[in-house]
Every structure is written in structure tokens, then in C-alpha cells.
Copies of this chain bind each other. A is one copy, B any other.
Amino acid sequence: MTTAKKRLKSGMGSSTAGRITVRGHDLVEDLIGKVSLGDMAFLELKGRLPSREESTVFNALAVTLVEHGMTPSAIATRLTYFGAPESMQGAVAAGLLGIGDRFGGSVEEAARTLQEALEGEDSSPNVAALARQVVAAHKEKKRPIAGLGHPIHRPIDPRTPKLFAIAAANGFSGRFVELMEAISAEAGRSYGRDLPVNATGAIGAIASELEIPWRVTRGLAVMARAIGLVAHVQEELQEPLAAEIWSRIDEESSSQ
């Protein structure tokens, strides 16, 4: 059987003997030594380098996501490195696998809520009405609204006002941020308790201002956390905790 084949075509990067191209830029001439890692990440995702304002905002989002202390991901990375010290990449991968619906997924879910609500709206949407629709729809399905509230950071998540201030100062506080804040206010009224925007809500809103598709926003957490997990491997190398963690859990869980 002969089938017409689809072309395999990628615009990510290519190489010849003397030249390496990444997203249309000459890696050696235009990127190495000229752009920072965060701006390179922006280029990878958007296909162009950021403006100064975009760079400030994008780097702020990414920096927020790098390190959260001894999370389930960090513990999984350390336990994996203990068992497989030959494979740092495996330890980091194990930690990244936990950046799913519960963690990275909340950024994605917040961005999705905002992007779907504003899809097809013109430039001056009725944000209050959209917020009421979002809250009502979640209430009806008894689903929590992503991006609101926090178990530890009370009364407010200190990252949120900072991120929103940076977005505003750089021209990225538009209708997505406005809708996120309106949803928070409406949810507070509807549920009768404070539900301030948390860091993942702020990141989901600001990533939407940067026109990052919601399906890709989880990737912001994945790329940033990869940095943090490499650093956890380094600390584990220098001051190992995995054996003690294992010992405590095994001892108690297997006692009769």
C-alpha cells in the first residue's frame, strides 16, 4: 500500500556544519551571550524575542514557579535519586511527573477558565457578567474555581499583588486580569467568604495576557520546576535526606 505521506516539518531548530538556527534566529550570532534564559524560553514559546516589558512580565511568572521547598515533587526527586544515582535526569523527570492536575494543572485550569470565557468577546466585554457566569457554572457542577484561595497564604497570597503590579506596570493588566479579579469578588459574594486570587490564578491570568494558550500554561510550571528539581538533586548530593525519609515512612507503615 502506498500512502501519500504527510511532510514532517518543524520550525524549532536546525543545523548545518557552520550554523545553528533556533526559531529562525542564528543561535551563535543572535542568542548566546545576548539573551537571557528566560527570554530564550519566550522565544521558544512565542517564536520571537520579547519586548523589554514582555521580558519583565514573563520572567516574573517563571521565577515565581521555580522553587516551593519540600513539595511532593521534590521528595519524589530525592527518593528517585537515592535509588538511581546514575541518572540525574530520571530524578528530575520523576519530580516533574507530579506537576499534574493538582499543581501545574491549577495554572492551566485558571487560564482555561479565563480564555474560554473571553473567547469571541470583543475588546470591551462585560466582565462582571462573565464572572457571574463562571461562578454560577462552577457552583452548579460543584467544582472549585481554579486560582482562588490558599491553604497557607492568608489572608492573601503575597505573590498575587506583586505579580499584578508588575503586569500593570508593563502594560499587561488587561481583560484577563480584570476577569480573574472579578471572579474572585463574585466568588467571595457567592460563597460568603474571602476567596482572593492566589499565585496560580495570577499566573494563569497574566500568561493569558501574554497570549499563551491555556494548554501550554502548565508548561510554564514544568520548565520552571525543572530548575528547582535540579537544585534539589544538588542539595541531596551534598546533604542526603532520602534514606532518612524512607526509613521513617517504612518503619511506621509496615508496623503491625
Interface-forming stretch among A140-148, A184-192, A247-255?
A: A247-255
Asked if A88 and B230 sit within 8 Å, CB to CB, the answer is: no
Contacts of A224 in B (CB 8 A): 37
* A31/B63 in contact, CB under 8 A: yes
B72 with A98: CB separation less than 8 A:
no
Q: B101 near A92 (CB under 8 angstroms)? A: no
Copies of this protein chain in the complex: 4
Cβ–Cβ contact B102 & A96, under 8 A: no
Q: Which of A115-167 contact B (CB under 8 A)?
A: 152-154, 158-159, 162-163, 165-166
Shortest distance between the CB of A51 and any CB in chain B (Å): 15
Could you give, for residues 8-21 of chain A, a 1 whenever the CB lies within 8 Å of some chain B CB and a 0 otherwise?
A: 11111111111110
Q: Is A66 interfacial (CB 8 A cutoff)? A: yes
A205 interface contact, C-beta 8 A: no
Known: A28-B158, A44-B228, A60-B33. A89 touches B90 (CB 8 A): yes
Residues of chain B contacted by A244 (CB below 8 angstroms): 5-6, 8
| Residue picked from A20, A71, A88, A215, most chain B C-beta under 10 Å | A88
- Alpha-carbon gap, A249 to B72, bound state (A): 9
Return the contact of A100 from the options B28, B36, B83 (Cβ within 8 A). Answer: B83
Q: A214 CB to closest chain B CB, in angstroms?
A: 11
Residues of B within 8 A of A45 (CB): 230-231, 234
- Over the window 78-109 of chain A, the binary record of Cβ atoms lying under 8 Å from chain B Cβ atoms (1 yes, 0 no) is 01101111111111111011111111110000
Q: Which residues of B contact A218 (CB under 8 A)?
A: 88-89
Residues of A in contact with B (beta carbons under 8 Å apart): 3, 5-20, 22-23, 27-28, 31-33, 35-41, 44-45, 55-56, 59-60, 62-64, 66-76, 79-80, 82-94, 96-105, 152-154, 158-159, 162-163, 165-166, 213, 215-216, 218-220, 222-224, 226-228, 230-235, 237, 239, 241-242, 244-250, 252-256
What are 5 A-B residue pairs whose CB atoms fall within 8 Å in the complex? A70-B246, A70-B249, A89-B100, A90-B100, A92-B96
